[in-house]
Amino acid sequence: MPPMSEPDGNKQTGSLPQGKDEPFPSGFIRLKNTLSASDLVVRCGDASFDVHKAVIYPQSTFFAAQDHAYTLITSSSSTSASRSVVVLQDDIPTTVERLLSYLYTGEYGDDAAAHHSPFFACRTKVASLGQWRHDTMLLHANMYAAGDRYGVLPLKAAAEAKFKAITKQSWPFQEFHIIVARVYASTPKEDRGLRDVIFQLCVDHLEEVSAGPCWKQMMADHAAVALGVELVPKVVEMKDKEIRDLKERLRGGSADRPNKKQKTELERS
C-alpha cells in the first residue's frame, strides 16, 4: 500500500484523495477483503466488521479518537495478534455497514430495495415506486447523519446530493412527515444541509403541503413540527397573496362568486 505522506516537506496529514475527479484508492478496495491484515473490529448489534485502521482512522474523526478502545487478543497455534475493538451501541448494523463500505470504496449501497455490500447482504422487497422513494430518502438521511456523527464530511456531502436528487421527482412523497421527522431528529438545528433541502421542497409545493394531511401530520410530530414552525411565515404569505388576488379579481369582475371558505377568509382580512 503506498505511503500516506509525500517525501518532501509538504506532508499529507492523513487526508485521502476523495476529490470529484480523482478515483478512490484501488488499494483500499483490495484491502477490505484482506481480513488477515485487519487490526480493528467494529461491532454494532449482532454484526461484527473486520477493518483496517490505516483506512478508517484518517477519514473519520470519530474512529481516529478511539485509540483508547479495548483490545481483543486473537491467537492460533503459530501466532497471536491484538486488534482494537470499537462497539457502537447507538446505531444500526446496516448504517454502520454502509459507512464502512464508503470508507473503503467511496460509495455506499443506496438501493433500499436490494442492498448488497462488501460485508453482508440485506434485501427488502419494495411494494411500489413511492415506497422505494420513501425508503431511499430515509436511507440517505441516515447516511447524512452518520457522516456527521462519525466525522466523515465527504459522506455527508454525498448523502445530501443523493437526497436532493430524489426531491426533484414529482410530488407527493409518501409519508413525507416521517422523512421530515428523521431529518430533524437526527441532525443538530444548526446543521442546515438536509433541513434546507426539505424546507425548499416544501416551499416549492407549499399549497399541497399546507392543504393536505401532510401539514397535520408534521404538526403532530415532535421532531417534524420544527419544520412546520419554519414554514408558518411562508404559509401566511401565501394565504395573504391568495386573498389579495381574490380581491383584485372581484374588483375587476373577473372572479367567480367566492365559495364559503373564501368568504370567511375575506371577512377575516
118 compared with 147, residue with greater pLDDT: 147
Among candidate residues 158, 113, 141, 135, the one with its CA nearest the CA of residue 198: 141
Q: Answer yes or no: is pLDDT of 48 > 50.
A: yes
Residue 138 near residue 179, CB atoms below 8 Å: yes
Among candidate residues 107, 95, 101, the one with its CA nearest the CA of residue 148: 95
pLDDT at 111: 67
Dihedral of CA atoms 70, 122, 139, 97 in degrees, nearest 10, equals 20
Q: Answer yes or no: is pLDDT of 79 > 50.
A: no
Among candidate residues 104, 121, 84, the one with its CA nearest the CA of residue 32: 104
**Lowest-confidence segment of 45-49, 123-127, 135-139, 173-177 by average pLDDT:** 123-127
Q: 73 CB contacts (<8 Å, ≥6 apart)? A: 80, 81, 82
Q: Answer yes or no: is pLDDT of 141 > 90.
A: yes
Confidence grade of residue 233 (pLDDT, cut at 50, 70, 90): confident
* Grid coordinates given for 149: 456523527
Whole-prediction pTM value?
0.71
What digits encode the pLDDT tens for the residues 239-263?
777 667 666 766 665 555 555 555 5
Confidence grade of residue 49 (pLDDT, cut at 50, 70, 90): very high
Q: Answer yes or no: is pLDDT of 9 > 50.
A: no
23-42 mean pLDDT: 67
157: phi then psi, degrees, rounded to nearest 5: -65, -40
Rg of the chain's alpha carbons, rounded to an integer? Answer: 25
What digits encode the pLDDT tens for the residues 199-225?
888 888 888 887 778 778 888 887 888
Q: 172 CB contacts (<8 Å, ≥6 apart)? A: 205, 208, 212, 214
